[in-house]
Amino acid sequence: MLINLGMLGFFKYYNFFVDSFAHLTRHFGFESNMRVLHIILPIGISFYTFQSLSYSIDIYRGKIQPTNKFISFMTFVSFFPQLVAGPIQRASELLPQFLKARIFNRDHLASGFRLILYGLFKKMVIADRLAYFVDRVYDSPQNYNGTVLLAATFMFGFQIYCDFSGYSDIAIGSARLLGFDLTQNFRTPYLTKSFRDFWRRWHISLSTWFRDYIYIPLGGNRVSQSHWILIILLTFTISGLWHGAALTFIIWGFLHGFYLVCEHFVSKFIKLPRKFSWIGWIVTFVVINLTWVFFRAHTFEQCTLIISGFGNLNLDFIPKFSGLFAGNNEFREFAISILASFPIFVIIEILINQTDFSTMLNKRGTILRWSAYLILAAMIMIFGVLNAAPQFIYFQF
């Protein structure tokens, strides 16, 4: 654990703590001579570090036996479909799959291709289109009114979901082509009606990792109420720090822990009737998307600028909106692609609320299934961002 966390701390957090220490010493009138290191962050280090840690911890707990197959263990740690950005796999789930023969399975192959197709649709058609708008606003937020800033923030909420869930679908689908099953990483999180349920559906492999290796060992819900609050806040703050060595990520994680604590106490006094459950969905959806400001902004100062800008709502935002694009043709292409693809995305998300895309489609008839294939493929070819497409957001972690 010391070796794994030591490498992660050195490569990912050394400069952050050095800068923080320097700011602290300057506050008290001292000058620190510690230097930052200009080093390249190893690709996927956050993900395969947690994967390796789970292996060691599960052996210590007696949940699994250590393998004597060195090649299988190294393949488990560096399995290329999910190496860069997950899903984070447990040794008990993935390692045994390397130790058995894989036989060609037509259904497995078809399932993998379905997930890859839907993942490419979410990434290339929706996430990369929205990135064009979001990036321009967040690169110079001082130039835009509150309406544009608010629109960019909500667009980023869909961008990061389609980007990361799209990557997860592609990773899981690619593994299935090779005969491996990876765990589902997203389950329509924006359709949830509570913050607790959101974290059961968003980045499932990471949230369950923090639950099993930090939250529960610290006491979970078996402790006093005040102790439980501290555990929740600490677990989510660490989760924010895992995403990035910056104050903005720490605040983002802390806020989600704070929301869960507030929801826990509010639910004791307020019980919404079933017919008003949509109120819970609206509150959860709006608050989570507003919190993305801390995840997307470059600095804490930029966060405060954007949040303060939300108060400057202006209905006359069309000129500012269209001014983000090089010309009318570019604006028209953006608008048409989003208007054409978003209804398809929403319909699919509603249909897969309790399952995944491949399972849902497999239950449909041949005509409907192939119609879905052709529609998604056509959307990718017509509206997909093919040139200079942004990389996956979670590659930076």
Residue 48: count of CB within 10 angstroms of its CB: 23
Catalytic status, residue 38: no
Q: What is the DSSP letter of 71?
A: H
Candidates 243, 256, 264, 298; catalytic one: 243
Residue 65: count of CB within 10 angstroms of its CB: 10
Q: What's the longest Cα–Cα distance across the chain?
A: 73
Which of 345, 346, 350 is closest to 360 using CA atoms? Answer: 350
Which of 5, 262, 24 is closest to 254 using CA atoms? Answer: 262
DSSP string, 125-137: IIIHHHHHHHHHH
Angle between helices 146-177 and 128-139 (to 10 degrees): 140
Cis peptide before 189 (omega within 30 of 0): no
The one-letter amino acid at 22? A
What 306-313 contacts at long range (C-beta under 8 Å, 24+ apart), as own/partner pairs, is: 306/138, 306/141, 306/149, 306/153, 309/141, 309/144, 309/145, 309/146, 309/149, 310/146, 310/149, 310/150, 311/146, 312/145, 312/146, 313/145, 313/146, 313/147, 313/150
Which residues are known to be catalytic? Answer: 243
